[in-house]
Structure 1
Amino acid sequence: MNRREFLKSAALMTAAGAMLGKGSVLKATEIPAAKPEKPVLNFNPQMQYRPMGRTGVNVSALGFGLLRLPMLADGKTVDAEQSVAMIRRAIEGGVN
């Protein structure tokens, strides 16, 4: 999708939302989560998975970036306890 197509679809969604109400637009664009055909590492039925190119691997639609982990009061040290808890929660949710 290029920039022009994105802006066009965003404008159409905004117009539809203004005319129909927020709930109608969201229901029309929801895609039901389907179980992937191939096995998924760390599968959770509430997560959507998509094929990663031609690798045959299915990955979660959401990821968990590690750039900004919680810091301790000194501002220089990563809070390992809270970071591990956050990562485990993401894994429980189906992020792979």
Structure 2
Amino acid sequence: MSDYKTIIESNNFIVLDKYTKEWKVSEGYQSEYDLEREFIQDLVNQGYEYLPTLNNSQAMLANVREQLQSLNNVVFLESEWQRFVEEYLDKANESII
């Protein structure tokens, strides 16, 4: 056991005069799928809602529209929504690549 001197302590944090992390070797390989599942579970544990149907750009845009309308208590006309998407969310000259 290490002997650390506490410099300051509160309900939210503690400051020590020194800290040495004990390194642990990973016991195994974590696949990308497992990493994503763990990340999603961490977010769910923090109160985020997981929507497995949000798996393509159209579904994501539909969800953004629904959330913006709900948060701002408005309803977009189709023409307003298309303009908003084209100007701010899905510009023609911008892409993932």
Question: TM (normalized to structure 1)?
Answer: 0.23
Q: Which has the higher contact order (CA 8 A, sep 6+)?
A: 1
Structure showing greater radius of gyration is 2
Question: TM (normalized to structure 2)?
Answer: 0.23
